[in-house]
Chain A
Amino acid sequence: MKPPRFDYHAPSSVDEALALLARYGGEAKVLAGGQSLVPLLNFRLARPAALVDLNRVSGLAYIREAEGQVRLGAMTRQRAIEFSPVVAGRVPLLGEATRLVGHLPIRTRGTIGGSIAHADPSAEYPAVLTALDGEVVARSPRGERLLRAGELFRSYLTTSLAPDEILTEVRLPAAPAGAGWAFEELSRRHGDFAIVGIAALVVRDGPRCAMARLAAAGAGAVPVRLRAAEEILEREGLGDAAIDAAAARAADLVSPDSDVHASAAYRRHLTGVLVRRALHRAAARAGARG
């Protein structure tokens, strides 16, 4: 089908975009890369009174390092992230996850801010933000606020962003030196949304695991941080037995739903399997500290 009628606005600044959102009082949608919103318009599942297109807003596409974080402008294209040396060097988990987002022609347009604000719980970026305990910057007429991943995602396709608020920046902590990482997912076809996806980051300290970060996509209404599984690794290290224990714990921590793609029981099983695979790969990459 074709999109329904809407008013179209292409502001050149965030302030102008915010004024437009305020004017439409919750009836406007923000258009970023369009790789999720335009299908919804084409199917007429979304019928906003207006689109506020951020593609002509300057200064929202960048990747830079500051205060131990990598900060990405909301309109940074997934394709730019895929080929960014800063991302490869400082947040390699994000780089690996990016290669699993749709296909290259989708990543040409898709943005990090759009993917996170869309809040599909089976998408890769929300899981990376959750695993790394990253933050987003949200701007509204009331000013700017920082939201952690745990404060942002509320339910399927639902965030705590207000209707007059725009996500402008994503902040991810840079990986410590020697960290190992992996993003593992299972999908029916290459480029599809994951049935379950696992983001993992580990830091070795001799025989110990100094830090573990784990989150699951597709295993609930929001991405799930698997803290109790992380704690097993931080207590017992990165040996096979500890990884098996963490994987078993992870499967207990999620409450997936059944849908046409997979049953809840299968997603739970898959959570354990993929946590084990992700941890083995991340541990193999993690150098000894020092």
Chain B
Amino acid sequence: MSVPVTVRLTVNGVPREGRCEPRKLLVDFLREDLGLTGTHVGCEHGICGACTILLDGQAARSCLMLAVQADGAEITTVEGLARDGGLHPLQEAFHEHHGLQCGFCTPGMLMTALDLLRVKPDADEAEIRAGMSAVLCRCTGYHGIIEAVKAAARKLARSATEGRT
């Protein structure tokens, strides 16, 4: 029915709840109902990748899911990356390597890179370029983004060998 539904889900480790129409997109639910505006709305048809979040640990487009479909799911948004006031190694790498300019695509870039490096921690440059082509950036020309993901891969590999993640 098109009557409002209750959606209960976990976002960045915190149980959250809201009521919305079934037609509400997950990205709009995160932004408007839960106040998590870090995830951006771009093209609304799955091309630009700005709205990419982790759904049960895997990158997915939050503009191509209804909020009601995420009932019971675990979502990670860009707000969930930083820990104890410190940036995530990926965020640090984007900062150090000029992986952003206007910042609009950055949440999608970070969540996409996070999934990519979990699936393939030893991704080479060609694999990183192919993987990161899932998100469009209109200002940096991608070079800084690719350098940042390469640097983050090295950093994450190092911390994994040293036993701290």
Contacts and interface: CB of A to CB of B under 8 A. Distances in A.
Interface of A: 1-8, 10, 34-35, 38-39, 41-43, 51, 53, 55, 79, 102-106, 108-109, 189-191
Contact of A42 (B21, B44, B133): B44
Given A34-B65, A38-B46, A105-B52, 19 more contacts: A1-B44, A3-B23, A5-B23, A6-B23, A7-B22, A8-B23, A38-B25, A38-B64, A39-B46, A41-B23, A42-B45, A51-B22, A55-B69, A103-B49, A104-B112, A104-B119, A104-B131, A105-B58, A106-B64
22 contacts: A2-B24, A5-B2, A5-B23, A34-B69, A35-B61, A38-B25, A38-B45, A38-B65, A42-B44, A43-B45, A55-B69, A102-B46, A102-B134, A105-B59, A105-B60, A105-B61, A106-B134, A108-B55, A109-B55, A109-B61, A109-B64, A190-B130
B134 A6 contact: no
B45 A105 contact: no
Contact of A189 (B55, B66, B112, B133): B133
Contacts of B55: 108-109
Interface string B65-99: 11011000000000000000000000000000000
A104 B24 CA distance: 24
B59 A108 contact: yes
Interface string B107-125: 0000010011001000000
B102 interface: no
A272 B80 CA distance: 49
A4 B23 CA distance: 7
A6 B65 contact: no
B22 A104 contact: no
Pairs A-B, 9 closest by C-beta atoms: A103-B134, A8-B22, A39-B45, A105-B59, A3-B23, A38-B64, A190-B133, A108-B60, A108-B58
A39 B119 CA distance: 27
A104 B134 contact: yes
Contacts of B2: 5-8
The prevalent SS among residues of B at the interface is: mixed
B1 A104 contact: no
B24 to A, nearest CB: 8
A191 B134 contact: yes
Interface residues of B, number: 33
B28 A2 contact: yes
B34 interface: no
A106 B131 CA distance: 11
B44 to A, nearest CB: 5
Most chain A C-beta atoms within 10 Å of own C-beta, residue among B2, B25, B61 = B61
A8 B134 contact: no
Nearest to A106: B46
B63 interface: yes
B59 A6 contact: no
B68 A8 contact: yes
A108 B70 CA distance: 14
A111 to B, nearest CB: 13
A39 B45 CA distance: 5
B51 to A, nearest CB: 10
B5 interface: yes
A4 B2 CA distance: 10
A2 B22 CA distance: 12
Contact of B5 (A1, A3, A6, A8): A8
Contacts of A35: 46, 61, 64
